[in-house]
Structure 1
Amino acid sequence: MSKKVKKAVLPVAGFGTRFLPATKSSSKEMLPLVDKPLIHYAVEDAIEAGVEQIIFVTGRGKRAIEDYFDISFELEYHLKYQGKEDLIEELRKISDMADFVYIRQKEPKGLGHAVLRAKDVVGDEPFAVILADDVIEAQKSGTAQLVEVYNRYHCSVIGLEVVKPEDVSNYGIVAGKEVEKNLFRLETFVEKPKKEEAPGNTAIIGRYIFTPAIFDELQKTAVGRGGEIQLTDAIASLSKKEVIYGKVLEGNRFDCGSKMGFLKATVEFALKDKQINGEFKNYLHEVIGC
């Protein structure tokens, strides 16, 4: 019987240079999307899929993430003194979401290297990889959609999105044979190709399910584009030994690693927030006049 996906790796060691100077002393993953940081949405994505252990691969200056998912006795004492027991209960839910593990990535050697750092904790189990930059708004979380495919085929599954042809150079691009609607058996993997060299415009986005065999491929993967160990290169290598599927995810993805994507997500999530959506709509009407 195949093991269930109970662990998720969240690489969070990046510098967040596109948001400097805001990220000079604060983690990009802690940028607030309305009233929760980006990393909170990523953890929720994993929990909905049945994940029980979250493995953060962190770096220098990421202490805020650890503090966020820890218990803050000082803050709780202050809130209790003010009679805000409901807020204490809400904060406790954060630290109780999952079992949290932290691993340090001492040097920025790429996404593939970050995933490899989790090898000893993951062990011989299938696991998810979630990139907090990608916030997916859907009836079923992006990771949950991939877990459904994994439970049927017991193979690695990659989250996909069809992007504009002019944007392919920003993504790992794949191609393969469609076996079900929006589900592909992947055959070709190219990391950030030029538009004229891309095998299509179906892109890898920040949700993955891997068998533990990916670690062997990562250990053998040479340094690639940008002087980093590219996860896409290891996936391509693994595909020669195991079947890998790609699932076009349902829902709306917001690339919160870019300023425009982050702003779009902020507007969309604010408009859906029951506490502020009415006032926010009125404000937008005043500003843009429609």
Structure 2
Amino acid sequence: MTKVRKAVIPVAGMGTRFLPVTKSVPKELLPIGTKPTLQIVVEEAVSSGVEEIILVSSPDKKQIEEFFSKKTSYDRKLAEAGKEAMLSGLYSLLSKVNITTTMQINPKGLGHAILCAKEAVGDEPFIVILPDVIIESKVPCCKQLIDAYVKTGCAVNATEHTPRNQIHLYGVYDIAKSEGAYHYASGVVEKPKAEDAPSDFSVVGRYLFPSELFKILEKTPPGKNNEIQLADGMNTLAKEGKMVAFEYEGRQFDTGDPLGFLKANIYYGHREFKNGVSNFIEEVIERNLLMM
């Protein structure tokens, strides 16, 4: 079985839910604590054994390429000031992985973004990471998917149980059969009403696909909003019995949503700054109670 060496990360989105800040700062560089969300997911990939990452970006987001470069004027000034050690963690990460960028000139959906990485990926299995989703877990989520892929030989996508009152916010798997944490999917339904949902297993932003997906996406006609939908490609794999929804171990934070972004900062901030965050939260709660 071919080793999983590559990951595709789509970063071309406009980040409109975070305007006005995303008018000049890419959403993927907004910080969780002191790290951008994009760095956090790249660390997950590298910890999982990924050797090459393909960023599918936009010409308007040059800041992302600059962030992963050691040759900016800021890097030079930091070195001249004798403070380059402050970026030692990032530099160490960059020494372990090859990061390249391909452009999505005219965004036409997530499926189209992945298709833009076809040449860079080649004929290899690959991971897709949605950078909005950061996952806290003992074993990196991408590593869990790789292990599940080795076991099943199928496309493997992360899933988790989702409360019925939130199911309309997510893609949902239609499950044909289950074997422990391995749920063989017969399809994916995009954001169904609770009463129409085929299960409570939602799509999480981590996927592992065979290179066969590229041929499928090339044949996939545009769907909603005239976009090439990844879900349509997933449905083709599912109908062929080649897709597993894997119930990963961990906790996800959707940082693409302002509330989810705040929750992630509190969670990771508490770990980084400990008592300072706890004391402040208690203070805020106490003040709000007094004002009620």
TM-score when scaled to structure 2? 0.93
Structure 1 partner of 2:290: none
Give the conservation status (yes or no) of the 8 Å contact 1:161–1:203. Answer: yes
Deviations 1:113-152 (A, max 9, x none): 0001111111110000000111100101111110010111
Deviations 1:156-215 (A, max 9, x none): 101112112122222211122444322111112212222232212211110000001111
Once the two structures are overlaid, the 10-residue window that deviates more, 26-35 or 185-194, is 185-194
Structure 1 partner of 2:284: 287
Amino acid at match of 1:216: K
**Which one of 275, 278, 284 corresponds to residue 278 of structure 1?**
275
Task: Work out the CA distance in 2 between the residues paired with 1:195 and 1:80.
Answer: 55
Give the conservation status (yes or no) of the 8 Å contact 2:158–2:246. Answer: yes
Give the conservation status (yes or no) of the 8 Å contact 1:191–1:233. Answer: no
SS in 1 for 2:156: strand
- Offset at 1:91? 4.0
Query: Considering only aligned residues, what root-mean-square deviation do their CA atoms show, in Å?
Result: 1.7
- Offset at 1:73? 5.0
Pair 1:206 & 2:175 matched: no
Deviations 1:34-72 (A, max 9, x none): 000010111111112111000000013211111111103
TM-score when scaled to structure 1? 0.94
Task: Work out the CA distance in 2 between the residues paired with 1:91 and 1:124.
Answer: 30
Structure 1 residues not aligned, in runs of 5+: none
SS in 2 for 1:61: coil
SS in 2 for 1:239: helix
What count of residue pairs does the alignment treat as equivalent? 287
Task: Work out the CA distance in 1 between the residues paired with 2:92 and 2:73.
Answer: 17
Give the conservation status (yes or no) of the 8 Å contact 1:158–1:245. Answer: yes
SS in 1 for 2:108: coil
SS in 2 for 1:289: helix
SS in 2 for 1:42: helix
Task: Work out the CA distance in 2 between the residues paired with 1:235 and 1:108.
Answer: 19
SS in 2 for 1:15: coil
Percent identity over the alignment is: 39
